[in-house]
Amino acid sequence: MLEVKHLTKSYQKDKPALTDISFSVEPGNFLAIIGPSGAGKTTILRSLNQLIKDDDGQILLDGSDIRSDNKSQLRKHRRQIGMVFQNYNLVERLTVIENVLHGRLGYKSTFAGMFGIYSEDEKREALDLLDKVGLKDFALQRCSELSGGQKQRVGIARSLIQHPKVILCDEPIASLDPASSHTVMHLLKKLTVEFNIICVANLHQINLAKKYADRIVGIRQGKLVFDEESDMLSEEILETLYDQTISKELK
Amino acid sequence: MSSPIKFLAQKHRKQTAIIAVIGSIYVLSSWILNFDNFSGFTAVPKAFNWLGVNFFPTAESVELLPRIWQKLIETVALAVSSTVVAAIIALFVAILGSKATGINNYVHVVVRGIASFFRNIPLVAWAMILLFSFKQSDFTGFLALLLMTVGYLIRAFMEIIEDEASETMMALKATGASYFQVIFQAVLPQIMPSLISWVLYMIENNVRDATLVGILTGTGIGFIFDLYFKSFRFDAVGMTILAIIIVVITLEVLSNQIRKVIL
Ligand SMILES: Nc1ncnc2c1ncn2[C@@H]1O[C@H](COP(=O)(O)OP(=O)(O)O)[C@@H](O)[C@H]1O
Ligand SMILES: [Mg+2]
């Protein structure tokens, strides 16, 4: 279980980016974080694997606090937390399978990792995962030659090979066309259930959040304004979140 | 805060002012240098005509080709070796100094300062300073080119790392990869094309500059250029220049081809 308690962060003095954020997610659940731009969604997500050092609070993964980790403990925690990015953040010059295998780096000795030496099992698993995300025939293709949707699926495979307890997705579909968006969201939802992992995704599209997420957390100006089952999300709540009527989006 | 309209008007005024300042600097410097613009321009064709007549390679100068060729190869080798060594040094320093991969901001500022220092001392000044210690030798030229190139490449490499590798670095850091794993698996592969492109560009530049340095250090193609020039063998000078031009253009075409393949 992932538990966030009283998370607080400010980049500049007296300008809090996050104030007292608390929520928790059980394995097999998909949590969407929604809210206007600049609300603090990215800050929350990056605090969860400590790419950003927050100021106060607790982040408990199965009871152990990531925030009090030393360097090697943090490395062990990070390899249990996959991350999927809006811009995919792949090494474009390398092949698809090399990028997937990068997800194993956290488990490898520095030397083996530096020179990309992977075991047969790891390679086989990478191919299996590529099959799972629908890219079986692309293993040896350069990532720069893929479409956005395909790149994002490579990103998902890279996070899965970490054997993660949690996958964090920061606007995973914001750069994708509607069809690819659905493919990626569907895939994330399916894998969350299949591997019994926790998926936390920042999303802009409220309709997709409602469709795929089990629960939705709303953030506004760094504060948590609601935390509901996704079916419970009403127009009134959205109005307070975005300061405007967006009933169209709900349909 | 000023309104957008005010801001745009101000920006426009600023641009006009900058153009006016550049114009006045030109007029002022022409006046200081006693440079008569009109006769300056009319003198250009005459100068070219004179060059064409006196520097035209003759049958005799063609006989000098093997010697010129040998010296030219020496010079190209000097340029290539100094650039490659400079690139290796610069890559190390840039990794230590860039905002994305570096040690800290203090180191970043120091590295930028050092790079700027090496870059901004003119090549000729480097060569003259180094002549004191290393006399007229290939090594002096090598070192002068090396130091200047290191200055250019450190800055270029730092910017490339910051622009092109920050995002992938973050992704690998998030998987739990260690620092050296991130450098080797994300940063280096990601920046390699831009890096090679810069090295090729510096080699092209350094072949030209190595000629100049050779005049001072008495080595390579610069040396025989100087020799022929001072002994009034203008036809041979013309031949030398022609050979340099051919080599420089060949290198440019070659490196453009390489760029096309790697980018
Ligand atoms: N590196 C940073 N330095 C200073 N302020 C930042 C930085 N990153 C984010 N912020 C500020 O923190 C707030 C939350 O940003 P962010 O988490 O990126 O929001 P979101 O992802 O919801 O759009 C914004 O006001 C933003 O300007
Ligand atoms: Mg964001």
Nearest CA in chain A to B194: A93
Q: Are residues A106 and A79 in contact, defined by beta-carbon separation less than 8 angstroms?
A: yes
CB-closest option in B167, B173, B181 to A113: B181
pLDDT at position A10:
95
Chain B residues inside the 8 Å CB shell of A162: 175-176
- Alpha carbons B64 and B62: distance in angstroms, whole number: 5
How do residues B65-96 score in pLDDT, each as one tens digit? 888 899 999 999 999 999 999 999 999 999 99
How confident is residue B36, by pLDDT bands cut at 50, 70 and 90? confident
Dig out the tokens for A44 from the structure: 């929350």
- In Å, how far are A52, A206, A226 from A33, measured between CA atoms? 18, 10, 10
Q: Are residues B196 and B213 in contact, defined by beta-carbon separation less than 8 angstroms?
A: no
Which of A23, A33, A29 is closest to A165 using CA atoms? A29
Strands of the sheet containing A64-65, edge to edge, are A15-25, A2-12, A56-61, A64-65
Is any ligand 1 atom within 6 A of the Cβ of residue A43?
yes
């006769």: which residue's tokens? B39
pLDDT at position B53:
79
How confident is residue B196, by pLDDT bands cut at 50, 70 and 90? very high
Q: Considering the entire predicted model, what is its pTM?
A: 0.85
SS3 B56: coil
Compute the distance from residue A37 Cα to the ligand 2 centre, in Å. Answer: 7
- Alpha carbons A98 and A104: distance in angstroms, whole number: 10
Nearest CA in chain A to B193: A93
Q: Are residues A31 and A199 in contact, defined by beta-carbon separation less than 8 angstroms?
A: yes
Q: Are residues A167 and A30 in contact, defined by beta-carbon separation less than 8 angstroms?
A: no
SS3 B55: coil
Chain A residues inside the 8 Å CB shell of B178: 75, 105, 110, 113
pLDDT at position A250:
53
Mean pLDDT (chain B) is 90
Q: Are residues A241 and A36 in contact, defined by beta-carbon separation less than 8 angstroms?
A: yes
Q: What is the DSSP string of chain A?
A: -EEEEEEEEEEETTEEEEEEEEEEE-TT-EEEEE--TTSSHHHHHHHHTTSS--SEEEEEETTEEGGG--HHHHHHHHTTEEEE-TT----TTSBHHHHHHGGGGGGS-HHHHHTT---HHHHHHHHHHHHHTT-GGGTTSBGGGS-HHHHHHHHHHHHHTT--SEEEEESTTTTS-HHHHHHHHHHHHHHHHHTT-EEEEE-S-HHHHHHH-SEEEEEETTEEEEEEEGGG--HHHHHHHHSS--HHHH-
Strand pairing of A81-84 and A166-170?
A: parallel
DSSP 8-state symbol, B121: S
Nearest CA in chain A to B181: A114
> Structural domain boundaries of chain A?
1-80+164-177+197-251, 89-163
Residue nearest to atom 6 of ligand 1 (CA): A11
Chain A residues inside the 8 Å CB shell of B174: 49, 51, 78, 81-83, 168
Dig out the tokens for A17 from the structure: 């980016």
Q: Tell me if ipTM is over 0.95.
A: no
Q: Are residues B203 and B28 in contact, defined by beta-carbon separation less than 8 angstroms?
A: no
Q: Are residues A141 and A150 in contact, defined by beta-carbon separation less than 8 angstroms?
A: no
pLDDT at position A242:
82
Is any ligand 1 atom within 6 A of the Cβ of residue A51?
no
CB-closest option in B175, B180, B185 to A78: B175
Q: Are residues A39 and A220 in contact, defined by beta-carbon separation less than 8 angstroms?
A: yes
Angle at A94 between CA A89 and CA A95, to 5 degrees: 105
How confident is residue B62, by pLDDT bands cut at 50, 70 and 90? confident
Dig out the tokens for B33 from the structure: 């240098």
- In Å, how far are A59, A241, B127 from A46, measured between CA atoms? 12, 22, 51
CATH 3.40.50.300 fits A1-80+164-177+197-251, yes or no: yes
Q: What is the DSSP string of B163-230?
A: HHHHHHHHHHHHTT--HHHHIIIIIHHHHHHHHHHHHHHHHHHHHHHHHHHHHHHT-HHHHHHHHHHH
pLDDT at position B30:
82
Least confident of B26-30, B174-178, B251-255: B26-30
- Alpha carbons A83 and B177: distance in angstroms, whole number: 13
The verdict on a CB contact (< 8 Å) between A89 and B167 is yes
For chains A and B, CB pairs below 8 A equal: 84
Provide the residue-wise pLDDT of chain A in tens; the chain has 251 residues. Answer: 999 999 999 999 889 999 999 999 999 999 999 999 999 999 999 999 999 999 999 999 999 999 999 999 999 999 999 999 999 999 999 999 999 999 999 999 999 999 999 999 999 999 999 999 999 999 999 999 999 999 999 999 999 999 999 999 999 999 999 999 999 999 999 999 999 999 999 998 888 999 999 999 999 999 999 898 988 887 777 877 887 655 555 54
pLDDT at position A249:
54
pLDDT at position B2:
57
Interface residues of B toward A, Cβ cutoff 8 Å, are 167-168, 170-178, 180-181, 183-186, 189-190, 192-193
- In Å, how far are A8, A122, B45, B103, B182 from A87, measured between CA atoms? 26, 25, 55, 26, 18
- Alpha carbons A136 and A129: distance in angstroms, whole number: 8
- Alpha carbons A32 and A225: distance in angstroms, whole number: 14
Q: CA of B173, closest CA in chain A: separation in Å?
A: 8
């030219």: which residue's tokens? B72
How do residues B209-225 score in pLDDT, each as one tens digit? 999 999 999 888 999 99
pLDDT at position B29:
86
Is any ligand 1 atom within 6 A of the Cβ of residue A11?
yes
Interface residues of A toward B, Cβ cutoff 8 Å, are 49, 51, 75-79, 81-83, 85, 87, 89-94, 102-103, 105-108, 110, 113-116, 155, 158-159, 162, 168
